[in-house]
Structure formats: C-alpha cells, structure tokens
Structure 1
Amino acid sequence: MSVDTRSGDTVDSTAARPVSPGVIAMLALLAAVAPLSIDMYLPAFPRMAEEFGVSASAIQLTLTTFLVGLAIGNLVIGPLSDRFGRRPLLLVGTFVSIIATILCAWSPTVEWLTVFRFVQGFTGAAGVVLSRAVISDRARGAAAAKLFSLLVLVNGVAPVIAPLLGGAVIGLTGWRGVFWVLAGVSVLMLVGVLAVLPESHPAELRSTGGLSAMIADAREVLSNKRFLGYGGAFAFGFGVMFAYISASPFVLQEVHGLSTTWYSIAFTANALGIVVASGANAKLVDRVRPEALLRIGLVAMVAFSALLVVDAVVGPYLWATLVLLWFAVASLGLVIANATTLALGEARRAAGTGSAVMGAAQFGLAAVISPLVGLGGEGTAVPMAVTMLVSAIIGLGGVIFGTRSAAE
C-alpha cells in the first residue's frame, strides 16, 4: 500500500486490473503505427526524389523529421496524460495524426511533406507513449512483462511486413498511396480507442497544479536512479537495433556481397529472432524475475556484439557475421520488454512522464546513431559492430550502477 501525495488517498500499488483481448489488440495496433509509418514508404525514396526533383538527402530528411516529431511528441504527450488521462490524449493525437497523414499524401513539394511528417510524428507519438503507459496502469510484474513482450513482438514483425506492404501499395498506387493506407490505419486506431479502450488512469491519481506539477513529476522520475538504469537499458537496447537497421544493408550487401533477396531473408530471420525471444520471455517471466531476464539479455547482447567487433576486425566472415547478428538482435526480446516493465514500475505514479522520457531517449538515439554507423564508409562492418557494443555496454552498465546506487 502507498499514499498518493497529491490526493492523500491510500492506493494499492500492487493492484492490477484484467486486460481484455480487445484492449490487447488495440495496444498492439498502437505499437505498430510508428514502425509502419517509418518503414512503409522506404521503398519509394528513389521515386519520390525523382518526382520532386530533389536529392536523396532531402527525401531522407522527411524520415528524420518524423523521428524528431516522435521524440518531442513523447515528451509533451506523456506528461500531459498524467494530468488529463490517457484516453483524451490518444483521441486528440490520433485525430490530428489522421489529418497530418492525409496532408502528407497531398503534399505538393518535399518541403511541405517534411513539415507534415513532423506533425504526423509528433501527434502519432500518442500511440507509442500511451500504449506503454496504459499497460503500466493496468498490469504489474509478470503480467506487465508479458504485455510488453507482445509490444516488442509487434515491433519486431512490423519492420519486416512494412516494406513488403509498402512495396505492394507503391506498385499499385504510387508513394502517396502509402500515406492513404496509413491514414486508414489511424482511422481504425481512432475507432478502436473509442470502442474498446477505457480510461486507465483514474482521476484521483492524476497530477494537479498545472505546469509546476508536471515539472515535479519529471524531476521525480529523473531523480530515480533505478528508473534511469532500466530506462537506459531500454533506450540503448534500441540503440543496438538502430545501429543494426541503419548499417546492415551496407554490411551484408556491400561488404559481404549478399543480393537484395538474400539480405531480405537475413533481415527477416533476425526479426524472427526477436519474435522467438519475446515469446520465450513471455513464458519465462512466470518463473524468472524480469530483472534477471533483463540482465541475461544485456549480457548476451554485450557478448555477441563484442564477438561482432572481433569478426569485423579480423574478417569479416559471412556466416560468423550472420550468426552473431542473429543472437545480438534476438537478445532484444529479453531486454526491451523487461526494461520497460521495470522502468515504468519505478514511475508508477507518473507512468506517462516515465514513458515519455523513455520514448524521447529511444528516438533521440535513433537520430544520433544513424550517422554514426556510416562514419567508416560503406566498405567496413567495424562502425556498426562498435556502435552496437558501446550501446549494449551502456545499457548493462546503467542497470548495474542504477540498481546498486539506489540500494546504497
């Protein structure tokens, strides 16, 4: 039992409410929108550059601004949901995201597309940040870890499906059709929120006092060393993934000479590794503590990333690279779900703010890591492997020192 400092009421901090299949499906859809919005239009980049008469970097900027919008949107929407509730922010964010997505489809110039992509990312962040907050509101411990494993599974499958789906849509309708499809998905999400997703953050637990209370929530979350440790594992776990996603096309195709088809097969196999590990995590959390599973995943990620560095320096050798990448990426299935469960467990009173900090760090790192892995050029695997290793070490170090400092 604990006392809510704002209302003075006694709150059972261990209580959990059942999560219906409809709510689970809705949360999965919320989690899928961001990776779909990132990956579905990637196959159209050359066509878009030709249509607008601009460079590839100008088209790439539309992706960068979307990621920046996601990061900032997390920081704004998450804390606001601690005050106003999850459902109103989801409804408003999703509605505006639908408008922004339609405007992306109508964009007459790449400049307008860039602006609308930022708005789409900012408002679409509601689904990303609040799906985590809703789970934290409604589930505890192993139950929460299972639900977060589902979100990790969705985020592992969506990047595989998105380019394939996007390629089919582009072939039929052109790149603008991708945004019409995304708008339709967002409409489905809005209807789903209205139909099956009740408010999960009761009024008596919401923050009051305006901006000062929001700042106090943020200060409380950021001063929690255990939250910072687990949140760091979450963010830098995604750092490993972004390093892999950004560099693997060049490493596997330019360095190792894989064809586009074989690269797609390898990418799919690695995504399935995340799915397998996430499924195993959902089964294991009933018997093994989430913190133990998190540490196992982080240690595995460090070990296989270190071996990737060795392989990149002395080789690289194709089969060694493929096997080590598979295990390093699959380790995310143990890291992300458990890090999310443990971090938000430390921010129970302000789950929206905690989720916002994690999401902003996640997408902020994505914007930083993408250029880092290209520093050595397209003919070496060393930058990718080193970036993965450094990210994994920081994630593990955060958990070790965060939990140790909090215990002292």
Structure 2
Amino acid sequence: MEAETKNDLGVDEKRLHDDEQNEKAAEAAVLATPTKIAWDGPEDPSNPLNWPSSRKISIGIIISLGQLVCLMTTSIVAPALPQIAKDLGLGASETQMSFSIFVLGQGIGSLFIGPLSEVFGRKPLWVSCTFFFILWNSLCPVGKSKVMLIIGRVLSGAGGSCGVILSGPIMADMYPKKDRGKSLAIASLFPYLGPALGPIVGGLVSQHVSWPWLFWVMSIFSAVIVIAGMLIIRESYKPIILKHKADRLRTQGVMEAADAESSPQSLLSKIGVSLSRPLRLLATRLVVQLLALILGLAFGTYVLVLSFFARVFIDQYDQSATSSSLQYIAIALGCTLSTQTGGRLMDFIYARLHTRQPEGAPALPEFRVPILLIGGLLLPAGLFWLGWSAQGHAHWIMVDIGALIFTAGDFLASQAALAYILDEFPTHAASAGAASRIVSNILGFTFPLFAPQLYDRLGYGWGNSLLALIWIVVALPVSLAIWFWGNKIRRVGKSKKDE
C-alpha cells in the first residue's frame, strides 16, 4: 500500500491535493453549449485557481492596500475632531456622526458593490468604486462646510468599502478551500495597520499642516494604489472570465451567436436580481442572519473601542494627543497577529477535521467554527482586561495588553465567520458577504454614538464589562449552535437561487 504523505503539520497532503483537484474538476465539468463554455480541463491556466502564486500574491497585496486606505480613512480624522468641530461649528453629536458616518457609508456601498461584482466582474467594480472614493473623500473639506463633510464622508465610505467587500471573494476566486485561511491572511496583511496608522498620521498631519490635508493625503495614497491595481489586478470572477472566453469564440465564429441573455433587457433583469440578493439572503437564510449577528457585534464593538481608546490615555493617564494616538499600535498588533497566525491555524484545523471525515465526504463550513470559538473567548476576556485596567489606573501597558487581546479575538472571530460564508456561498460570496455586513455597518455606525454616555455613566470597567457580557450571552451561544447544528441551519431558507 502506498504510504500516505504528510505535510509539516501532520496533515494528509495527498488527500488535500486530491480535494483541490476535485474542486477544479467540478468547475471544469460544466458542459459546453452554444451559450455556455467550460474550462479547458482542471489545469486550464485561465482558471484563477491555476494562476501562478506570484500573481495571486501580487493581487492580494494590492487588495490589502485598498483595504488599508478604507480603514485608515475611518480613523484618521479622530485626532482632528476637536479642530474640525471648532472650524465647522459642529455640536457634540454632529462631531461624533462625522466620524462614524463613514462606516454607515460602507454599509450602503456593500449593498451595491458585492452583487454588481457578480454581474460586471470584480476588477471593474474595484477600480470604479476606488475612483468614486477618491472624488468624494477629496471633496469632504472643500468649503469647510458641515453639509459637504457629512455627504462626502458617507459617499466616500460607500466607495471605499470596495476593498473590504471584494477582498474575501477575490481571494476565494484564486485559492481553494484548503488554503482559505492563507488567502485571507494575505488579504489582511496591511489593512489592520490602519487603526494605528490612521490616528498617528492624523495627529501628525493635523498638528503640522491642517486638517483638510487628512483627506487629501488619503486620496493621493488611494490614487497610487488604484493605478497599480489597474496594471496588476486581473479579473478573477469565474463566470465573467468564461463569458469573455465565450464572447471571443463567438467573434471568431467558433460558437453560435450570443443568445437573448446578452440583451439589454436581460442585463437589467440580472442587475435587479443581483441587487436584491443580499437583502433576500439576509431575510431568508438563517445562517446568514446568525453570522451577520456575530460580525455585527464584533465590528460594532471594535469601532466603539476605536472611538474611545485615545480618550482613555488622555483622561486617565494625562497623555498628549500625539502620545495617546501611539497606543493604537496595540490594536494594530492584535489585528495583524491574529489574522496572520489565525489564517494558518484555520487551515490546519480545517485540514485535520476534513481528513477525519470518511473518504469522499465533503469538507464542511463548520470546520471554521473552532477558530470562531477561540476568537469568541478572547474578545470578552480582552474587554474585561482593558476596561478594568483603565478603571483601576493600572500601568498603561496593561490597557494595551487588554486591547491587543480584545482585537485579536475580534478579528479571529470575524475572519472565521467570513471564511464560513465563502465556503457556503462559493458563487455568490460577494452578495452573501454584503448581506452579512449590513448589520456590521449599522452597528458600527450606531455603537460609537452612545460611547460617551456609556462610559460617563458606567466607567471604563463596567462599560466594557457590559459589552463583554452582551457578547457572551449572544455571540457564543450562536457560535456553538452553528458548530452542533450547522448542517440544519444552512438548509433553512435555502433555494436554488443561492447556488
């Protein structure tokens, strides 16, 4: 009997390779017809799964930098909010809204960007939405008008969300399920430096130049990235690649003329169906609802912590605005360490659970849940640590350690939930991701609005403890339910339209 080959993690490498080949073969098995075309076998070089690693990594880095722009833009205005409020005559609530409404814009953008990328392709949506972000972000400070600031922030948030919305689907287009964690680690290589870089850059720019340059610096940075993306990124959505292939063959006379699906009427119909898909998935699929709840609580709590974090060190430790902004490095470290190490750990656990399955049994999305549970335990632990360290005036490094643990748990849980969605919705991953992020962005917008009242009334200790208890009562039971009854949960509300 042939000996089983093992990789350095002790996983059956041959079986994992066979699973990857089966995944490619399943795509290649689509029958060619006058209106449909398949890959030229499992090793077709035009299939993104077969692209060279160098190309995949290059695309992943560009997408990662695009996310970095979005996350930096979310928080870069935080150090300058007092000056912006003074110059524009903003009240306390208006000032807070000018910060968090960018997140609401991301939620609005996700409703359009995700589904439209399944009609027109990933690259056209990413490029056009990035230019849309550059336009409105540049207009935010023009005229120093509160109306223009609010409108610009919400619309730039809508455009800037393209990196966040499309990163997971693009990486899923290029990597098989067994490498899902690695692919998400590549896509998250840079963006989670944003929570640290945003306030630091914001503090330096607003202190040494003027706050309008906060927006223009990010627009210039984004322009460089989108130009690089236009040169490096290739279309990765497989139905669009096959459609382009069919169009070339029809032009060459190899295939029959395009059918009625190419008519403008059909295109409008496809756009309508695609745009309705995220809301339909959120309304009908129980698994999407549960994952949206987890992602929403994680993201809402994260944005809330971002909004008050600098205040802790200014109020409790008498640090300057510049010194307090440096504390965001702890948050960035927690995010980056968790996504990079968590990605490899996720793939290891996924492979081990899969190889324990009977021969021929499919890998299940539930194999992502162990990472979700690990993150789900670290998140409240970090909140308790962070809150009570600040409340008790412990050394500032203790607050930073709590922030690191919290953000590590937050992003481990979010990464696992996203991987679950990508596994469950391989064709409509962007729409399913958009559906799950609707709740995230709504909570990300609303949570920071009550942050001042929360900590003024309860203090940092009990305020963060309340957030931790909400997570323990809501998110942990939901995660356990998905682990034990995921197969039944995934079937609730499922239809052929989801395939």
TM-score by length of 2: 0.71
Q: Could you tell me how far apart the structure 2 residues matched to 1:50 and 1:220 are?
A: 44
Q: Any conservation in 2 of the 1:224–1:346 contact (CA below 8 Å)?
A: no
Q: Does 1:196 align with 2:276?
A: no
Q: 1:299 maps to what in 2?
A: 377
Q: 1:351 maps to what in 2?
A: 429
* 1:208-219 map, 5 Å: 209-212=270-273, 214-216=275-277, 218-219=279-280
Q: Does 1:399 align with 2:435?
A: no
Match of 1:181 among 203, 211, 217: 217
Match of 1:287 among 342, 348, 354: 348
CA displacement at 1:120 relative to structure 2: 1.1
Which consecutive unaligned segments of at least 5 residues does structure 2 have?
1-25, 244-266, 351-367, 489-499
Q: Could you tell me how far apart the structure 2 residues matched to 1:216 and 1:59 are?
A: 34
Deviating runs (4+, > 6 A) in structure 1? 7-12, 205-208
Deviations 1:248-271 (A, max 9, x none): 3444543x4452466445432243
Q: 2:104 maps to what in 1?
A: 68
Match of 1:234 among 282, 286, 295: 295
Q: 1:342 maps to what in 2?
A: 420
Q: 1:96 maps to what in 2?
A: 132
* 1:21-60 map, 5 Å: 21-60=57-96
Q: Could you tell me how far apart the structure 2 residues matched to 1:106 and 1:139 are?
A: 43
Q: Any conservation in 1 of the 2:334–2:403 contact (CA below 8 Å)?
A: no
Q: Does 1:259 align with 2:288?
A: no
Q: 1:366 maps to what in 2?
A: 444
Deviations 1:8-62 (A, max 9, x none): 88899x9834452321211111111211111222222222223224434433332
CA displacement at 1:328 relative to structure 2: 2.5
For 1:318, the aligned partner's letter is A
Relative to structure 1, the CA distance from residue 80 to residue 169 in structure 2 (aligned partners, 3 Å threshold; closer, same or farther) is same
Relative to structure 1, the CA distance from residue 294 to residue 118 in structure 2 (aligned partners, 3 Å threshold; closer, same or farther) is same
Q: Any conservation in 2 of the 1:149–1:333 contact (CA below 8 Å)?
A: no
Q: Any conservation in 1 of the 2:378–2:408 contact (CA below 8 Å)?
A: no
Q: Could you tell me how far apart the structure 2 residues matched to 1:164 and 1:116 are?
A: 22
Relative to structure 1, the CA distance from residue 300 to residue 312 in structure 2 (aligned partners, 3 Å threshold; closer, same or farther) is same
Deviations 1:152-194 (A, max 9, x none): 4533311101122222223343111122111112212321221
For 1:215, the aligned partner's letter is S
Q: Could you tell me how far apart the structure 2 residues matched to 1:176 and 1:262 are?
A: 22
Relative to structure 1, the CA distance from residue 15 to residue 223 in structure 2 (aligned partners, 3 Å threshold; closer, same or farther) is farther
CA displacement at 1:322 relative to structure 2: 5.2
Q: Does 1:384 align with 2:464?
A: yes
Relative to structure 1, the CA distance from residue 99 to residue 226 in structure 2 (aligned partners, 3 Å threshold; closer, same or farther) is same
Q: Could you tell me how far apart the structure 1 residues matched to 2:200 and 2:326 are?
A: 12
Report 1 or 2 for greater relative contact order, CA contacts < 8 Å, sequence distance ≥ 6: 1
CA displacement at 1:196 relative to structure 2: 0.8
Q: 1:81 maps to what in 2?
A: 117
Q: Any conservation in 2 of the 1:243–1:388 contact (CA below 8 Å)?
A: no
Q: Could you tell me how far apart the structure 2 residues matched to 1:251 and 1:395 are?
A: 26
Q: Could you tell me how far apart the structure 2 residues matched to 1:10 and 1:222 are?
A: 33
Q: Could you tell me how far apart the structure 1 residues matched to 2:468 and 2:186 are?
A: 24
Q: Could you tell me how far apart the structure 1 residues matched to 2:444 and 2:281 are?
A: 26
Q: 2:261 maps to what in 1?
A: none
Relative to structure 1, the CA distance from residue 108 to residue 286 in structure 2 (aligned partners, 3 Å threshold; closer, same or farther) is closer
Match of 1:327 among 395, 405, 420: 405
Q: Could you tell me how far apart the structure 2 residues matched to 1:32 and 1:348 are?
A: 25
TM-score by length of 1: 0.85
Deviations 1:102-130 (A, max 9, x none): 22242341212211222211222222212
Relative to structure 1, the CA distance from residue 324 to residue 82 in structure 2 (aligned partners, 3 Å threshold; closer, same or farther) is same
Relative to structure 1, the CA distance from residue 200 to residue 392 in structure 2 (aligned partners, 3 Å threshold; closer, same or farther) is farther
Q: 1:16 maps to what in 2?
A: 49
Q: 1:248 maps to what in 2?
A: 309
Relative to structure 1, the CA distance from residue 177 to residue 238 in structure 2 (aligned partners, 3 Å threshold; closer, same or farther) is same
Q: Any conservation in 1 of the 2:173–2:238 contact (CA below 8 Å)?
A: no
CA displacement at 1:92 relative to structure 2: 1.7
Relative to structure 1, the CA distance from residue 107 to residue 95 in structure 2 (aligned partners, 3 Å threshold; closer, same or farther) is same
Q: Could you tell me how far apart the structure 1 residues matched to 2:67 and 2:473 are?
A: 27
Q: Any conservation in 2 of the 1:231–1:343 contact (CA below 8 Å)?
A: no
Q: Could you tell me how far apart the structure 2 residues matched to 1:136 and 1:125 are?
A: 18
For 2:172, the aligned partner's letter is S
Structure 2 residue matching 1:174: 3-state secondary structure: coil
Deviations 1:358-386 (A, max 9, x none): 33222211112113433344361212331
For 1:394, the aligned partner's letter is V
Report percent identity of matched pairs: 20
CA displacement at 1:195 relative to structure 2: 0.6
Compute the RMSD of aligned alpha carbons. Answer: 3.3
Q: 1:116 maps to what in 2?
A: 152
Structure 2 residue matching 1:288: 3-state secondary structure: helix
